[in-house]
Structure 1
């Protein structure tokens, strides 16, 4: 499929076939896409919990809205997108060291410039705990978009899920102690035959209403 076909094919899956599991090689492709997702000043303010078994799924169900629970229990995999809260100095140092290890600073002075620029942007978006989390969440949603598109490209169905109680999820997974907070969930797998949403035509506003060319 080309990128237009992928965008026209992808939809939000409502019912999954529980008997079908995502092969490991395809899962690794999707995890690589998440790892490579862009983020502001390469802040990578995320951590992902990957769930592929009934025990772990049942553990998080109390935090998930009842109407969304079948998406968790029936799908092959569930990924919980978490933000680093707060974004610590240790994380920023770890980023800088990794960038240096990966050869991002071929010219003298680039490392210091990168570090200073990133700190400036983090501080700009961290006037409060809430503003920092809002900024980080934007980066997580970029990663979510990358994942949804990539999944369709390799024949995997998906469901983005906001219908859950983040406070309860954080408690269940002990995220506060880990310096994390849950932001959004994605279910991945293969649609069931009775998934009526698959048969409905895609509906979007016409381009004349949403694009302005200057």
Structure 2
């Protein structure tokens, strides 16, 4: 399947078939996307809570309350559900940890190159600290990850729906995320569409090329 066909055929699933489960082998594509998605200066400011059991999904579904109750079935009937969380800060300890992992993975042929990368990444972090937008910057990286993961799921023939319509405070409390240095941002459900999912039959609608592209 071409990437163009994948982009044109994927959609946000509104009704999952609860009887269909993603195999562990097929879900590996999702895990790989979550882990290997790009981020600015390889900051990887994320953590993911993955549920594939009824009990786990029920814990995440606690966040689909009040105005967000309409999303509860999308969590309960999916095969796997992932809570996307972002770091509360990019501490010096975390930056040192990143550098150590990169070094262990063989990214640095010399101490000078390693120090150069460390200085460059630290420089970007300092800029955003001074601007006061570190949280926004990290969330941008998380959404890059989400986009990559949605595309990876579609390429693997897996349906998905991203949801900001959840109570992130409930998720933070349920999974004790702030104590671990993270805050919940959104939830993505993965599985297979139900035959009567209305959104599957609707034509895709996007703005025309001449409206969104400027060729120079």
**Structure 1 length normalisation: TM-score?**
0.96
Which of 78, 81, 89 in structure 2 is aligned with 1:78? 81
For residues 129 and 184 of structure 2, the distance between their equivalents in structure 1, rounded to whole angstroms, comes to 18
For residues 140 and 13 of structure 2, the distance between their equivalents in structure 1, rounded to whole angstroms, comes to 23
Matches for 1:94-105 after TM superposition, within 5 Å: 94-105=97-108
Number of residue-to-residue matches in the alignment = 213
Match of 1:160 in 2: 162
Measured after TM superposition, the shift of residue 128 of structure 1 is 6.9
Matches for 1:171-182 after TM superposition, within 5 Å: 171-182=173-184
For residues 20 and 144 of structure 2, the distance between their equivalents in structure 1, rounded to whole angstroms, comes to 27
Q: Which runs of 4+ in 1 moved over 3 A?
A: none
Structure 1, unmatched stretches of 5+, are: none
For residues 40 and 13 of structure 2, the distance between their equivalents in structure 1, rounded to whole angstroms, comes to 30
Secondary structure class of the residue paired with 1:127? helix
Deviations 1:45-100 (A, max 9, x none): 01111111111221222222201111100000001111111222221111101111
For residues 62 and 128 of structure 1, the distance between their equivalents in structure 2, rounded to whole angstroms, comes to 35
Deviations 1:116-137 (A, max 9, x none): 11111112112376x2111111
Match of 1:197 in 2: 199
Measured after TM superposition, the shift of residue 34 of structure 1 is 1.3
Match of 2:212 in 1: 210
CA contact (8 A) 2:50 2:81 kept: yes
Match of 2:122 in 1: 119
For residues 61 and 152 of structure 1, the distance between their equivalents in structure 2, rounded to whole angstroms, comes to 23
For residues 141 and 28 of structure 2, the distance between their equivalents in structure 1, rounded to whole angstroms, comes to 21
For residues 51 and 16 of structure 2, the distance between their equivalents in structure 1, rounded to whole angstroms, comes to 15
Secondary structure class of the residue paired with 1:126? helix
Deviations 1:99-121 (A, max 9, x none): 11111111341110111111111
Secondary structure class of the residue paired with 1:109? helix
For residues 184 and 139 of structure 1, the distance between their equivalents in structure 2, rounded to whole angstroms, comes to 13
**Structure 2 length normalisation: TM-score?**
0.95
